[in-house]
Structure 1
Amino acid sequence: MEGRGTEGRSSPAQLGNPPSLPGPGAVGYTLPPARFFNEDILFCIDVGPETMVEMKVAAGPNGRPFTRLESIKQAILLFINAKLTINPDHRFAFAALTKTFSWLRKEFSSEVDSATAALQGISVDSSSSHADLTQLLRVAAHEAKKSRAQSRIFRVILLYCRSSVSPQYKLPTTQKLFTLDVVYLHDKPGPDNCPQKVYDTLVEALEHLLSHPQQRCVQDDFDVPKTLTKRSPPAESAPVDENAIVSIQ
């Protein structure tokens, strides 16, 4: 068919303005090619009673607000799909945080259907009065050794929802084998809530287990930690959201 050949086509240099060349004495910059590292990612989801708090900014098809747990499930599935689009060799496993750590699905898998099934099996523990991360960190250190033997990065993503319960933890005595990210969903500060104290405790743990440098932005450009009580109000008047979301990386 006429017009399908290469003759007569414009080369990239002919389209638009020609690329600018470095000036006299300037050194050209090239970005070296790099492959995507395979990751084993363990999601640990807080299933304490505060995960059932409704998110006023997010509503389902029937108009009922999503709970924090429902929002977490949706966010995880979006994250997994995005990660597998970038690299289909990433793998995922799931755990729950009640008073301590417990597995939801121990086998790491790249199957989205398997992740969906694991998330659907989550149940809330209304009796969780405290949270101990020690077993989570020990398990992560153990599993990370297996991942490192396969030249894979091991990463823990903790989703924490308690506004008045600071997590307890003892760091593993082994060398740093894995990295930790936390997403913290909490209520506003009040007589029964101390999200700033909880936030500070999480930051202490993160200082020892920051995420892998290739997974983080330049830290000089990342202004954390912030004091939650000193955040400036938005310029435009809007309904106040009682369910703030803070991402710690």
Structure 2
Amino acid sequence: MLMEGGPATAAIPLRSTATVAPPRYSLPPCRFYGEDVLFCVDVDVESKAEMAKGRAITRLDAIKQAVLLFVHTKLSMNPDHRFAFSILAQSVSWLRKEFSSEVDSALSAVRAITAADSSYGLADITQLFRIAAHEAKKSRAQGRLFRVILIYCRSSACPQHQWPVSQKLFTMDVIYLHDKPSSENCPQKVYDALVDALEHVSEYEGYIFESGQGLTRVLFRQMCMLLSHPQQRCVQDDLDFPKSLVRKSPPQTDAAVSEDSMPGSSQ
């Protein structure tokens, strides 16, 4: 390209203004693993706390609905996913040990979950990690991925564990339902302990969600966010969904615009 107004011999080439395209993003191919998901539901007396005003529904009732929503939706995505169930009292014990893709099996297990009439105080999740590590090795041998979803309801009792940080064989997600902070509880300390436990054991990015609002729809939304496959997740800090719904005003018509632009008559 030559500058205008001068002989060709004296021309100075202009600097190119073309933008350089960014390098093309590519995702290396990898095998997509079916999931074995172990639910662990807290059955402390605090799971009997009622949700927000409205229908008489407890945390445990809402948890059961949310778990079944997860199972149905996950199987609609891929019928190869499997589920098993455990409960957390002072420690963790099996409720339904066999991993199954059958909805009826999940429904039967969920219906069998009942809450205690008094507080357990201690919440030791070491056994949960033992179970998960053992089952994760079996899942891996079958070409599958193992995940734990812990649903915790205690506003003062921090979960405890003794587990080596070097063993990261599974992914852990947490949903924490708690009372609003007061002088009688410490949900922030409990939340911090849950974050530490999650980061201590998770092979892939684990998510943790909490709510002290007592709203069933919040629990359902959080459970739906856990539908994301661990192999396909961004870090939790980068999550930007679900999008908030904002009412949009209808677009103005040409007639309305012309009327608005007309000067007012003077009298």
Q: What TM-score comes out, normalization by structure 1 length?
A: 0.72
Q: How far 1:82 sits from its partner (Å)? A: 1.3
The aligned counterpart of 1:123 is: 114
Q: How far 1:215 sits from its partner (Å)? A: 4.7
Q: Is the 8 A contact 1:147 1:154 kept in 2?
A: yes
Distance in 2 (CA, whole Å) between partners of 1:31 and 1:184 is 33
Q: How far 1:166 sits from its partner (Å)? A: 0.8
The aligned counterpart of 2:35 is: 39
Q: How far 1:43 sits from its partner (Å)? A: 0.2
AA of the residue aligned to 1:147: S
Specify every segment of 5 or more residues in structure 2 that has no aligned partner in the other structure, as ranges.
1-17, 206-230, 241-267
Q: What whole-Å deviation, never above 9, does each CA across 1:172-219 have from its counterpart, x for those lacking one? A: 577321111110000011121100010111111111123624253235
Q: Which of 65, 68, 73 lines up with 2:59 in the alignment?
A: 68
Question: Matched residue of 1:56: which SS?
Answer: coil
Label 1:115 to 1:175 Cα distance change in 2 as closer, same or farther (>3 A): same
Q: Which of 235, 243, 267 lines up with 1:218 in the alignment?
A: 235
Pairwise mapping of residues 35-184 of structure 1 onto structure 2 (< 5 A)? 36-56=32-52, 59=54, 64-127=55-118, 128-172=120-164, 175-184=167-176
Q: Is the 8 A contact 1:156 1:178 kept in 2?
A: yes
Q: How far 1:34 sits from its partner (Å)? A: 5.9
How well do the aligned residues superpose, as a CA RMSD in angstroms?
Answer: 2.3
Question: Matched residue of 1:65: which SS?
Answer: coil
Q: How far 1:122 sits from its partner (Å)? A: 0.9
Q: Is the 8 A contact 2:171 2:203 kept in 1?
A: yes
Distance in 1 (CA, whole Å) between partners of 2:153 and 2:125 is 14
Q: Is the 8 A contact 1:158 1:182 kept in 2?
A: yes
Q: How far 1:126 sits from its partner (Å)? A: 2.5
Q: Is the 8 A contact 1:45 1:159 kept in 2?
A: yes
Distance in 2 (CA, whole Å) between partners of 1:55 and 1:95 is 23
Q: How far 1:131 sits from its partner (Å)? A: 0.8
Distance in 1 (CA, whole Å) between partners of 2:238 and 2:166 is 31
Moved over 4 A (4+): 27-35
Q: Is the 8 A contact 2:50 2:59 kept in 1?
A: yes
Specify every segment of 5 or more residues in structure 1 that has no aligned partner in the other structure, as ranges.
1-22, 224-249
Label 1:32 to 1:203 Cα distance change in 2 as closer, same or farther (>3 A): closer
Q: How far 1:124 sits from its partner (Å)? A: 1.1
AA of the residue aligned to 2:185: N
Question: Matched residue of 2:127: which SS?
Answer: helix
Matched, 1:187 2:179: yes
AA of the residue aligned to 2:93: S
Q: Is the 8 A contact 2:147 2:171 kept in 1?
A: yes
Q: Mean Cα displacement is larger for which, 126-135 or 189-198?
A: 126-135
Q: How many matched pairs? A: 196
AA of the residue aligned to 2:77: I
Structure possessing the higher radius of gyration over alpha carbons: 2
Q: Is the 8 A contact 1:54 1:66 kept in 2?
A: yes
Distance in 2 (CA, whole Å) between partners of 1:133 and 1:122 is 18
